[in-house]
Amino acid sequence: MNCGKKAMMLALIVPSMHAQIAGRVSSGPPTSAPPGFQIYSNAALHLTYTYPVELKPVDGGFAAAATRRMVYGSDTGSDQGTADRCVKVLMSAGSGTEGKGAWVRLGVAGVDGRCFPPQVLQKKKATQMLLLNLARQGTTLMGMVALGAPVGYQIEGHWAIFCAAQGQPLSNSDVQTAEAQMLGLAAVQTANGFLTWVIETNDAAMFNRLLGSGVDLGTGKPEELFAGGVR
């Protein structure tokens, strides 16, 4: 099911305005991370991202899969070369192991804007519709139920959308073997395409904590990834 459907258990809390990150008054890489946090930065993308220190590097395959699904939908016929040209995992971190208590996976990926028609990225309404479709596709999985409608907002003046789902993903054999989990995807427009954040976890508290993680795109005061949450 996609994010246009009604949520069954959890609901998105829609922000009235995007919250700024405490302790940061201007854009640009900080000299050090706040206590309990670490920093990922990418000078080429003007990105500084602050996330929990307990998360350690993990394989980014989950983030690549979600971002490719976002771009191509469930089209398994998309060739690997095209997927690699359009999608690049920038960082991935996590903790815990599925089936053994609390676990979380967090990924950040870039999507090349040249993989979309140029006219789509030049018009506000067309870009917003593209973001909506990307977020819906990225969170559409058999066995997962939407957590409310997609939410559009801005991060430092950049158009963004957030979408989430929960449930037990089905395997290729249509056997529901995975444990109950949440999936969140935020897509943000940049000068050269999009940045995406992928969150997968069975821990609602960590899910909300990561939604509050700090994003600085170099065009204003740092803000939360999504100033809302789930309940």
* 184 Cβ contact partners less than 8 Å away, ≥ 6 residues apart: 139, 162, 163, 164, 197, 198, 199, 200, 207, 210, 211, 226
For residues 170-185, give the mean pLDDT: 71
Backbone angles phi, psi at 12, to 5 degrees: -75, 140
The answer to whether residue 177 is domain-embedded is: yes
The answer to whether residue 43 is domain-embedded is: yes
- CATH number of the domain residue 179 falls in: 3.40.1000
Beta bridge partners of 112: 193
User: Which pLDDT score, from 0 to 100, does residue 95 have?
Assistant: 96
Helix or strand holding residue 91 (H, E): strand 87-95
Q: Does residue 2 come out as left (phi exceeding 0), alpha (psi in the -120 to 50 range) or beta?
A: beta
User: Which pLDDT score, from 0 to 100, does residue 38 have?
Assistant: 94
Q: In the chain, where does DSSP find H-type helix?
A: 61-72, 80-86, 124-138, 204-211
The answer to whether residue 25 is domain-embedded is: no
The answer to whether residue 1 is domain-embedded is: no
User: Which pLDDT score, from 0 to 100, does residue 19 have?
Assistant: 61
Determine the 3-state secondary structure of 86 from DSSP: helix
For residues 11-25, give the mean pLDDT: 54
The answer to whether residue 118 is domain-embedded is: yes
- Written as one letter, the residue type at 7 is A
CA distance linking residue 161 with residue 144, whole number of Å = 19
For residues 134-140, give the mean pLDDT: 86
The answer to whether residue 211 is domain-embedded is: yes
- Which DSSP string corresponds to 137-186? HHT--TTEEE-SS-EEEEETTEEEEEEEEEE----TTS---SPPEEEEEE
- Taking 70 as the threshold, does the pLDDT of residue 178 lie above it? no
CB 60 within 8 A of CB 127: no
User: pLDDT tens-digit profile of 103-134?
Assistant: 999 999 999 988 888 888 888 888 888 888 88
User: Which pLDDT score, from 0 to 100, does residue 13 have?
Assistant: 60
How many domains is the chain partitioned into structurally? 1
The answer to whether residue 10 is domain-embedded is: no
For residues 85-97, give the mean pLDDT: 93
The answer to whether residue 55 is domain-embedded is: yes
Which of 133-137, 171-175, 203-207, 220-224 shows the lowest mean pLDDT across its residues? Answer: 171-175
User: pLDDT tens-digit profile of 42-61?
Assistant: 999 999 999 999 999 999 99
Instruction: Give the range of the structural domain holding residue 220, as residue numbers without chain letter.
Output: 37-226
For residues 169-190, give the mean pLDDT: 77
